[in-house]
Amino acid sequence: MNLPLILPPVVTGYILLIVFGKNGSIGSFLDKYFDFTFAFKWTGAALACAIMGFPLMVRAIKLAIEMIDTKVEEAAKTLGANNFMVFFTITIPLALPGIIVGTTLSFARALGEFGATITFVSNIPGETQTLSAAIYTFLQIPNGEDMAFRLTLISIVISISALLLSEIILTRLTKIKKND
């Protein structure tokens, strides 16, 4: 589960290419039975970004769930709530700050993803080119620095906006919990 955190991103991208490419175990199945492929498509870029960010999300959510006092959940069960009801009415609301933090971390990691994505889906403008890959591409061409700078500013705005949004949500959740 944490392997994408410690593997070089290019290695993760290569593994994705081996597994999800047209000749890969999963990729050939998807291509044969569903006429669908991840490699060198925008869906592959999304998959690579998700896989690279997933461990950060899982770690935050896992810590949030582990911090929940199990006595609260047990009390709900003694009052007649089944496991499904306990999970959705107690566990998820109590873990919501961790879910938000994990989702924000995952998004931030995905936004900056470069190695796995470029290895798995390449850098095809209009199809698989991510923000990071576009910045890199503009830095490789003459007079591309201005466009790279603009994209960098866009990246900063998106990142700060995501961070601020998660902070606003966490602040509101904290106020709601204090009022209960």
Q: Distance (Å, rounded) from C-alpha 130 to C-alpha 87?
A: 36
The pLDDT value given to residue 84: 95
Q: Distance (Å, rounded) from C-alpha 111 to C-alpha 158?
A: 9
The pLDDT value given to residue 50: 94
The DSSP string of the chain is --HHHHS-HHHHHHHHHHHHSTTSHHHHHHHHHH----TTSHHHHHHHHHHHHHHHHHHHHHHHHHTS-HHHHHHHHHTT--HHHHIIIIIHHHHHHHHHHHHHHHHHHHHT--HHHHHHH---TTTT--HHHHHHHHHTSTT-HHHHHHHHHHHHHHHHHHHHHHHHHHHHHHHHHHH-
C-alpha separations of 71 from 53, 61, 78, 81 in Å: 32, 19, 10, 14
| Structure tokens belonging to residue 156 | 């900063």
The amino acid at 15: I
| Structure tokens belonging to residue 144 | 């591309």
Q: Distance (Å, rounded) from C-alpha 178 to C-alpha 15?
A: 46
The pLDDT value given to residue 111: 87
The pLDDT value given to residue 83: 94
For the chain, give every domain's residue range: 3-179
Q: Distance (Å, rounded) from C-alpha 11 to C-alpha 144?
A: 29
16 touches 116 (CB < 8 A): yes
The pLDDT value given to residue 175: 75
The pLDDT value given to residue 180: 62
27 touches 20 (CB < 8 A): yes
Which regions of the chain are under pLDDT 70? Answer: 177, 179-180
CATH superfamily to which 3-179 belongs:
MetI-like (1.10.3720.10)
Q: Distance (Å, rounded) from C-alpha 18 to C-alpha 116?
A: 12
Express each pLDDT in 99-127 by its tens digit.
Answer: 988 998 898 888 889 999 999 999 998 88
